[in-house]
Amino acid sequence: GERGAWRAVRAAQQTLATLTDDLAREVLAARLEPARPFLQSFERAARDAARQAGKRARLHVDAADAELDRHAMDRLRSPLLHLIRNAVDHGIDPPGARAARGVDDTGTVTLSAFSAAGQVTVTVRDDGPGVNYAEVARAAGRPHDPGDPAAEAELTELLFTPGFSSRQEVTDLSGRGVGLDVVRTQARALGGDVTLRSGPQGTTVTVQFPLTLATTRVAVVRVAGQLLGVPVRWVDRAGRARVQPHEGRPAVRIGERVVPAASLAAALNLGPARDGAYLLVRQGEASLALLVDALIGEEELVIKPLAFPLAGAPHLEGAAQLPDGQIVPVLNIRALRPAATSRVPDAPPRAPRVLLAEDTAVTRQLLRGILTGAGFDVTAVENGALAWEAAQRAAPDLLLTDVEMPQLGGLDLTRQVRAHPQLQHLPVVLLTSLGHPEDRERGAEAGADAYLVKGDFDEAALVATLRRLL
């Protein structure tokens, strides 16, 4: 009868699930390789960096029995090379300075890896004197308060900014402003993130990412009417949210703990939300109750990278297809900075005014959201003619424009800006799909201050470019 048929279907489903899990374990085992030989391959890079910097340094590898996905190892090679060079050049002090500190004149860079609960942690630690935050503040043009941990956290974040360097001279190892931003980009491309901690005993950079890139366990949630995915490796627990005020901020009581809470809808500028449930997520050493409308369930999903205009958005790990065919964005929780964890300045300066000209509605809306979230006051128009009218009515602080647009293209708009007495010094950034060298030359000849290609789009690089020009 129907009941017997239903039992047969359930039995078949359980058998299929068991076979699928067995196959997944076999695939995972086939992809994993011992981490130690991979990590030991960086010993020569450490020696070469020490020789170029005029220092003495050794590389110590601590991997125990850790295993890594071989595809992840391929993608980690370049960022780990950056970290080891930075550790030798910026972290290890010269022999004379080490002798004055009473330590061995040969510095040690420790490269370690371990895996637990489906997560891999790789650290690069040096035994130098730590980050010189006074020098970082000087390079950034900011005051330095050694007793303010929040200020040092902001200076640490500056080290990950594209183009930032505390070195005034350019050498084979330093001064190009390339390093930690590359590491962060690569870590997030692996579905992870990177953090830096520094003190008098040295600096440690930690890279975390999933054990395998094949599939990822994802918690599916509803936020402001939209489905979103959150990798469960960042989630400690979940439940119904009962939000209450605590020390002037929203919070959720979880057992005996009172945990700061923040709305995921607000962090993503998605509009009003019901905030009926929470995900307890880890952000560095702190915990945060991330508020969502509802918990839908968990799925084992294949996360695929995104193309422009979403590629490079640090808060997006990729997208995945649910069993019913729906596509959900998968968030990188470590890259989010919800309001509950942000330090609010006492007197925020006026937001820089950016005039955005972009004829594609989806791209225009996305760029507006990115720049607004980064603290810019954005006026967005759909072509160069409207941008020209808007600039003459109220001069912006910066013009961000596409090149190929109806009525008035970005190159002609730039030329008109440069010929206008009141606008001729306005910073102009071209953001376009045209990436050939001759296209860049035409942009420079028109008078653009920066030329960014949509195919290489990176949200952090865009924001850093605008801030550099303002």
* 342 belongs to a structural domain: no
pLDDT of amino acid 213: 57
Is the model's pTM score more than 0.85?
A: no
pLDDT of amino acid 175: 40
* 41 belongs to a structural domain: yes
Residue 358 has pLDDT above 90, yes or no: yes
Sign of the CA dihedral with 357 first, then 358, 363, and 365 last = positive
Q: Determine the Cα–Cα distance for residues 214 and 24; give it in Å rounded to an integer.
A: 9
For residue 312, the domain's CATH number is 2.30.30.40
pLDDT of amino acid 21: 47
Residue 346 has pLDDT above 60, yes or no: no
Q: What amino acid is encoded at 469 in this protein?
A: L
Task: Give the total number of structural domains in the chain.
Answer: 4
Q: What's the whole-number mean pLDDT along residues 40-47?
A: 92
pLDDT-derived band at 374 (thresholds 50, 70, 90) equals confident
Domain that holds residue 238: 215-335
pLDDT of amino acid 310: 62
pLDDT-derived band at 347 (thresholds 50, 70, 90) equals very low
DSSP code of residue 93: P
* 98 belongs to a structural domain: yes
Over the chain, what is the mean pLDDT? 81
Domain co-membership, 120 together with 221:
no
Residue 345 has pLDDT above 50, yes or no: no
- Which tokens go with 109? 């860079």
Using one digit for the tens of pLDDT, what is the confidence trace for 240-256? 888 888 887 888 888 77
Domain co-membership, 414 together with 439:
yes
Nearest in space to 254 (alpha carbons), one of 284, 217, 294, 287: 287
* 224 belongs to a structural domain: yes
Using one digit for the tens of pLDDT, what is the confidence trace for 391-415? 999 999 999 999 999 889 999 999 9
